[in-house]
Structure 1
Amino acid sequence: MALLAGSYERFIWGFSLKDLTSPAATADSDSSETLTLKPKFSYPAHTGPVRCVAAAARAGLAATGGADDSIHLYDLPTAADLGKLLEPSAAVSALAFHSLGPVPRNLLAACDDGAVHIYDADGFALLATVRAFPRRGEAADALAVHASGRVALAAGRAGALAMLNLVRGRRSFACRLERPASAVAYAEDRDGGDRFVMAAEEKVTLHDSEDARIVHEMDSGKRVLALAPAKNGILYTGGEDRCITAWDLSSGKASSRIEGAHATRVKGVVVFDSQKKGGSVLSNLIASASSDGVIRIWDIRTIGNAKPTPLGEANTKARITCLAGTTLR
């Protein structure tokens, strides 16, 4: 597994870590076992702050977007910088890969001028540019791609939500929100219901993907800055409360929480999905990063009433702005 973190100081960091189910681990592993976050690389990737990162699941491909109006590409297994894309005409605020199995198909980039650029992941040729928010000054701030690869959601900084038809390369729907959303993601509940979640200030809303109606509203108490859905109908959030909260999307209730997960606000959360031989998917490991530069790995099976001990930790000594991960070994 690998992690990629970006910082305000324009650097990115790559780390590798071992799964608890690796041959090096024993069958009776307990919460006292630790993991090693091994540094793989660090680059002064951009000439301005790194604003977003994305990793293609199981493909070893990653991308970063910055305030310098560019996108950088990386090969994680070889720790190689593959170069940069210069098509964005404004700062890049969000990135998302769409993958079919181990092969990434497209890379989407949302920018401060309201445009969403769609790239072919094979050669990274620009396929289309969709004006998600035509109004002047309406920056695209968050991005999510549906598992089908047919549609995507973009949230605007001024308080709009747009649905993009990726097959036809155009905006198909847009509406105004009560409050600007800082994060959006597609998710499933325990029954396999097709949903999407949005974070706006301290509220997280769960919506039906068919008609966008609100299914549940979850109150975190303080501003939510990062969210990550898991395959088992759980959503993990982090933010200014410095905690990591697990929400049951079927009930809309908090199921567990890591109190005081970090000393400062949580800026990124990553869920690592592991495939078992029987075909079921487990999400036992999560990673979190805070604005003081600390990255931690947690085993969700140890989360209870008491604060668990992180399985692994690294300190970049920088102001982390974003975090992404992949199950690539």
Structure 2
Amino acid sequence: MSLVAGSYEKFIWGLTLKPQSQSLTPLFSYPSHLSSIKTVAVSGSVVASGGDDDTIHLYDLSAASSLGSLHQHSASVTALSFYAPPNLPFPRNLVSADAAGSLAIFDADGFVHLTTLSVHRNAAINDLALHPSGERALTVARDNCLAVVNLVRGRRNCCLRLDKEATLVKFNASGDHFFMAAKEKVSVHQTEDARILFELECSKPVLCAAPARNGLLYTGGEDKSITAWDIKTGKVAYCLEDAHTSRVKGIVVLTDTDGATGDDDPYLVASGSSDGSIRVWDVRMVAREKPLAEYNTRSRLTCLAGTSLRFRRQKPQDGSKSKIVKRQRLEDGKKGDDETKEG
């Protein structure tokens, strides 16, 4: 499988995990943005990154090459998400959010811009989540609102006022539940009516979360740990304490395939931290102090995304030549010490 991370130092990192050899091998490191990278997303072999330079950059993991950039936003790109139908190994759409409260929708075939929606008026969107059906999206913003967006009709359905500003929103794999994080609290909601089922109390602010197919929700943040919550009971299943030496900025749950199911899946969880390290954990051995694999980027990481263990190259599509910048080979990172900072 592959992992992709973004950093304050404008670099994007691509790595491949080989569980058999228990190693993380760098694919590329590339200074793709003019400012810090705020978000990354992966679907199949396609990667997207968004930054404070108001730009989305696109990459092909299978060829370690750049696909160009998108410039539809006029503010920092704060969140990205691909929609890929379950039967396809490549994405159908890319949805992006920005600090001006707008949502942009792209056709992943050629990355044609379809529309831009004003979802939160003059309020930065903190996060977005796409329903597994691809028909709706949830966004949370600095206006203390949760917005429901109809992606089929291209309009905002409603906006719900929250008690506190939520910084994260995620759907579970089936789409019947969603999660929101606000400071130290994570709320579990029923998608049908947004009813709160549980409130999970963390010791420090939550900065990232990732749902698993086996009914667990992984959270990380200021406490430097990775906590697995059972969303059926609202209780802690287990915790990887002090997983990093600094705050955890990204968590990825890894599966054998994109559609893996079963109580034993997943057993690999990846985490990225502002200390610069990317670590992969075998959660079947929670008592084990050391990670299964580790790589130090020597950068202050801001976000992490990943694709499935069985990497599947994106299928070529007829007439899908990109109208964006010409493909460019990514150079291996050769950063000097003056361009990097230890976490």
| TM norm. shorter chain > 0.5 | yes
Cross-structure match for 2:292: 311
Q: 1:286 to 1:99 in 2, by over 3 A?
A: same
Structure 1 counterpart of 2:106, one-letter code: Y
Cross-structure match for 1:29: none
Q: How many residues align?
A: 307
> Which whole-Å deviations, capped at 9, do the CAs of 1:7-65 have from their partners, x for residues lacking one?
0010111000124xxxxx4xxxxxxxx61110000110100000000001xx1111000
SS in 2 for 1:261: coil
Aligned counterpart for 2:301 among listed residues 310, 320, 326: 320
Cross-structure match for 1:112: 99
SS in 1 for 2:115: strand
Q: Which has the higher contact order (CA 8 A, sep 6+)?
A: 2
1:209-288 correspondence runs (5 A): 209-275=191-257, 280=262, 282-288=265-271
Shift of 1:255: 0.3
Where do 5+ consecutive residues of structure 1 fail to align? 20-24, 26-33
Cross-structure match for 2:13: 13
Shift of 1:277: 11
Structure 2 counterpart of 1:235, one-letter code: L
Where do 5+ consecutive residues of structure 2 fail to align? 312-343
Shift of 1:130: 1.2
TM-score (norm 2): 0.87
TM-score (norm 1): 0.90
Q: Is the 2:45–2:90 Cα contact (8 Å) retained in structure 1? A: no
Shift of 1:157: 2.0
Q: Is the 1:10–1:46 Cα contact (8 Å) retained in structure 2? A: yes
* In structure 2, C-alpha distance between the alignment counterparts of 1:261 and 1:314, rounded to whole Å: 14
* In structure 1, C-alpha distance between the alignment counterparts of 2:175 and 2:167, rounded to whole Å: 23
Q: 1:132 to 1:278 in 2, by over 3 A?
A: closer
Q: 1:61 to 1:311 in 2, by over 3 A?
A: same
Q: 1:259 to 1:8 in 2, by over 3 A?
A: same
* In structure 2, C-alpha distance between the alignment counterparts of 1:157 and 1:49, rounded to whole Å: 20
* In structure 2, C-alpha distance between the alignment counterparts of 1:50 and 1:277, rounded to whole Å: 29
Shift of 1:320: 0.4
SS in 1 for 2:249: strand
* In structure 2, C-alpha distance between the alignment counterparts of 1:294 and 1:193, rounded to whole Å: 31
* In structure 1, C-alpha distance between the alignment counterparts of 2:191 and 2:139, rounded to whole Å: 14
> Which whole-Å deviations, capped at 9, do the CAs of 1:244-303 have from their partners, x for residues lacking one?
000001001110000110000100000012249997482111100110101100011111
* In structure 1, C-alpha distance between the alignment counterparts of 2:76 and 2:176, rounded to whole Å: 31
Aligned counterpart for 2:23 among listed residues 33, 36, 42: 36
> Which whole-Å deviations, capped at 9, do the CAs of 1:210-268 have from their partners, x for residues lacking one?
11010000001100000000011100000000000000010011100001100001000
Shift of 1:311: 0.5
Q: Is 1:296–2:283 an aligned residue pair? A: no
* In structure 1, C-alpha distance between the alignment counterparts of 2:225 and 2:99, rounded to whole Å: 29
SS in 2 for 1:301: helix
* In structure 2, C-alpha distance between the alignment counterparts of 1:301 and 1:108, rounded to whole Å: 34
SS in 1 for 2:84: strand
Structure 1 counterpart of 2:270, one-letter code: A
Cross-structure match for 1:61: 46
